[in-house]
Amino acid sequence: MNHEILTNELDENTKLLIEKMEKELNSKDDEIRKLKNELNFLKAVITNKNRKIFGVSSEKADANQLSFFNEAEKYSDSKVEEPALEEITYKRAKKNTYTGKKDNLANLERVVIEHKLEGADLNCKECGEQLVEIGVKSKKEIIKYIPAKLIVEEHVIYSYDCKSCEKETSESNIISAEAPQTIFYNSMASNELIAHTLILKYQHAMPLYRQESYFDMMGATLSRQTLCNWTMSAAEALKPIYNHMKKELLSRNYIHADETTLRVINDNGKDSKSQKYMWLYMSDTNSKPVILYDYQSTRSSSCPKNFLGDFKGFLQTDGYSGYNSVTKATRVYCLAHIRRYFHNIIVDLDEEALKNSRAIIGFNYCKQIYKLEKELRESFSSKDDYYDIRFKIRAEKLAPIIDNFIDYVEREIKDALPRSPLGKALDYAKKHLPGLKNVLLDGSLEVDNNAAERAIKPFVIGRKNFLFANTAKGATASGNIYSIVETAKANKLVVERYLVYLFDNLSKIDVSDSESLDNLMPWSNKIPENMKIKDRK
């Protein structure tokens, strides 16, 4: 009996020991699983960091990689075509290795020089009779470079008096010749020189300290302080143009927005090491584009709120929640930002891993949307009612794709680890796909915010060259000038000529007169033809 009791006690202890060991093993398994997930997460972070530093910026994926995708959906809608990965092969004519822009000389002044025989050369060397012109043998075009130079124009203004009137009335009737007007009344700088200085800095990213050397090689010693004073004064003179452009932008129905960092050494009289921000707001680029920069010391939600005010149209941005402060606007989110999360997961996967990846499904939905948008542009963009056509086709074809994309995200996010790359991609997509769906509300809306990202690049390039702004006032001035330069470029103007035109006219008009400012806008039909960039016929 005692033996049986002892055996039972041993069995119970053994069971308890086994259960304890099983719990410990399960706990270890959980810990190992978490460590593996953490390792995969950290590997993904390092891979993304390395890609940003060393990799290409394109988010295209290899078509051969994508052909491994074979999704068997649990929940499908037989009425809607599922996203499918295709391997496309085609033939094309061989192109030149160089793929840059085509030469276009349509905007250059053309000087015709005729080469004719004269004098004794017109006599025939055989019989001595005079030769008769029978036609043009050939024509040859040569692009000639004329080096720039600076000259000093000394304007001597003469005065005149009518001695006859003075004799009759005993009063002088003095009349003076009209002096040339410049945007800066008491400055030695011509409108052309100011415009050239601004173009060097804001279109060609040449900081003022380099411009010192540039002008020195041309024989003029112009200090950086002088150039800086001219730049600040030019920004102040152009302020009515900027404000009028802003008024026009806020009257539109569709605005893109983005922001980028800027270092300002001295903000509001204080040395500052914190990042400041240049905000970008722009209209649709298809008709009378407006591109504006707005310097602010923070990334606060008050910045877009103060700039856009009661704007009631469509506002397209990335996922930054600060734009929610523009409460009367309809938010439209960016497909490119959604796609980026999925792309960063699949781009470095090998063939075997790609077959089992759940992220490639999300990437493929993005690809299907872009494919549809490309087909619409190629087929209908030349038609006057393009937006109406796009609105109707999107309702039929794009809406189901986005709905299926949302369904996929809802299913996958239940099993995905929140901190994993896939978990983050799904979470971002879940938050922003409903906002992306707002593109179905208006045919003029784009599926991404790439227009704003392209428009902010000139500032980013310039920022790399001059690294920082000295003061908040300087950063604001740069924002105003960048706005006018980039808006002029977007409206296909020769920017330097346009700036001279503005300076010539701003000194002659009442800047509080809205109609006068309308006539100076880059899209105005009053702008002279010689300022418009011509396409080669």
Which residues, 6 or more positions from 452, have their beta carbon under 8 angstroms from its beta carbon? 256, 257, 258, 280, 282, 316, 317
Look at residue 78 in the predicted model and tell me its pLDDT. 39
Question: In terms of Cα–Cα distance, which of 497, 527, 516 is closest to 240?
Answer: 516
Query: What parts of the chain have a pLDDT lower than 50?
Result: 63-98
Look at residue 459 in the predicted model and tell me its pLDDT. 79
Strand partners, 469: 264
Look at residue 177 in the predicted model and tell me its pLDDT. 82
Look at residue 232 in the predicted model and tell me its pLDDT. 92
Q: DSSP letter string over 127-190? A: T-PBP---------------------------EEE-HHHHHHHSS--EEEPPPPP-SSTT-S--
Look at residue 37 in the predicted model and tell me its pLDDT. 67
The DSSP H or E segment spanning 470 is strand 469-471
The domains of the chain are located at 335-447
**CA triplet 269, 271, 272: central angle to 5 degrees?**
115
Q: Assess contact for 259 and 460: CB atoms under 8 A.
A: no
280: how many CB neighbours lie within 10 A of its CB? 23
> CA 241 to CA 502: how far, in whole Å?
9
Q: 311 by DSSP, 3-state: which?
A: coil
Tokens of 14: 């053994």
* φ, ψ for residue 4, nearest 5 deg: -65, -40
- pLDDT of 133-147, one tens digit each? 888 878 888 787 777
Look at residue 87 in the predicted model and tell me its pLDDT. 42
Q: DSSP letter string over 41-74? A: HHHHHHHHHHHHHHS-S-----HHHHTT-----S
Cα–Cα distance list, 308 to 248, 281, 329, 415, 487 (Å):
12, 9, 9, 40, 18
Look at residue 10 in the predicted model and tell me its pLDDT. 58
Length of the chain: 537
pTM of the model: 0.77
